[in-house]
């Protein structure tokens, strides 16, 4: 009977440790994620048809994290995303 109680206590401690570890990892991940702000590209001109080209220009010319083509009256425009 002593072994059963001892094993149950060890199992409970191990589960509590894993739960605490998982919760702390979740909190750290949330703190690392930065909010992105969208801004129309200052260096792109004309219709934006290929998102990968917009992405490359936003990163290389404007120091953005990401870039993408989005609908904009009239047509499509290149938008860059920066850390806020």
Residue 4 has pLDDT above 80, yes or no: no
Mean pLDDT of the chain: 82
DSSP string, the chain: -HHHHHHHHHHHHHHHHHHHHHHHHHHHHHHHPPPEEEEE-SS--S----HHHHHHHHHHHH--SEEEEEE-SSSEEEEEEEE-
Residue 64 has pLDDT above 90, yes or no: yes
**Structural tokens at position 26:** 């979740």
Q: How far apart are CA 80 and CA 55, in angstroms?
A: 7
| CA-based radius of gyration for the chain | 25
The CATH classification of domain 35-84, taken from the options 3.30.30.10, 3.40.50.300, 3.10.129.10, 3.40.190.100: 3.30.30.10
- What digits encode the pLDDT tens for the residues 6-37? 677 777 776 565 555 566 665 444 455 679 99
């Amino acid at each position: 009977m002593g072994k059963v109680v001892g094993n149950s206590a060890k199992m409970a401690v191990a589960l509590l440790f894993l739960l605490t570890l998982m919760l702390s990892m979740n909190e750290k991940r949330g703190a690392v994620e930065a909010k992105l702000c969208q801004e129309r590209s200052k260096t792109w001109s004309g219709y934006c048809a290929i998102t990968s080209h917009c992405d490359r220009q936003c990163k290389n010319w404007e120091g953005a994290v990401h870039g993408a083509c989005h609908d904009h009256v009239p047509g499509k425009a290149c938008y860059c995303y920066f850390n806020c």
